[in-house]
Structure 1
Amino acid sequence: MPVTVYTTTRCPYCVMLKNFLKENEIAFQEVNVESHPEKMQQLIRTTGQMGVPQTEINGQWIIGFDSNSIMEALQK
């Protein structure tokens, strides 16, 4: 199941989220929206949210670092 995490360089919640995924051996692709500003515009159009982290799991979006929602989405 593809997991994509949208982050910025200095976001502490992004680091927490990536550490959580690594600790739980969940493979993910990271997209740094500072390096790819067009991805930030795409995120805003898709979710209406400007903040990071945002995580897409199988078409479901999770805003912020929410470990419970991430685990629920992975079980679907």
Structure 2
Amino acid sequence: SEVSRDRVEDMRTHYKEGDEIEAMIINVDRKNRVINLSIKAKDMTEQDSAMKKLAAESSAAASGSTNLGALLKAKLDNKNAE
């Protein structure tokens, strides 16, 4: 199922005709004039980009810190700045 990571028996229980959704195009069949969409692929792509961003921020903040106290102070400073 391309609706969710969880098992979905019937998509009609989650969405009704006319509902607006955000999805990723995963296949275009020009011969049969069919477009396949995936909500799951969109969610996974967004999650992957968020994890990469978080990892980059974490490594940049912790690159010069070597002890636990310095790491905690940097984390608190980031939290207070937000």
Which of the pair has the greater relative contact order for Cα pairs under 8 Å at 6+ separation?
1
Per the normalisation by structure 1, the TM-score is 0.25
Higher helix share: 2
Higher strand share: 1
Per the normalisation by structure 2, the TM-score is 0.24
